[in-house]
Amino acid sequence: MSGFKNFILKGNLIEIATGLIMALAFAAVVTTFTAWLTGLMPDSASEYFSTEAQSFGAFLNAVVAFLIMAAVVYFLIIVPYTKAKERFFPSDEEGTPADVALLEEIRDLLRTRGGAV
């Protein structure tokens, strides 16, 4: 079970999956925006008015869907993932790393003994 926990929390699996979800949702926004822009170049006046309204509505729908998806991903995936990662794998304390602190201690001991460092 700890191997699975390490796989989920230590690897970049959640970050990659979240990036893929957001990229796919944003692709829909770009696609509908492109459809709306191409709808502004009509063949005739009757197509201009009907295509623009439908495409712009679809674009707004895609933007709202993207924002809702982003909120859901953030609150249901990112926040719990961050809390679980901090709980199971706490970050190192701020300050000097242990190996550097040990080397500094050895240096200081050598100085007190009269060694030339």
> What are the structure tokens assigned to 27, written together?
């692709």
- Which residue is it, tokens 């709980």? 87
pLDDT < 50 positions in the chain: 51
Q: State residue 46's pLDDT score.
A: 52
- Which residue is it, tokens 């242990």? 98
Residue-wise pLDDT for 53-78, tens only, equals 567 888 899 999 999 999 999 999 88
- Which residue is it, tokens 């509908």? 32
86, 87, 92, 95 alpha-carbon torsion, rounded to 10°: 90
Nearest 5°: phi and psi at 67?
A: -65, -40
Burial of 73 (0-12, 13-18, 19+ CB in 10 A): middle
Amino acid symbol at 40: L
* Distance (Å, whole) CA 76 – CA 82: 11
Q: State residue 14's pLDDT score.
A: 83
Q: State residue 23's pLDDT score.
A: 93
Question: DSSP letter at 91?
Answer: P
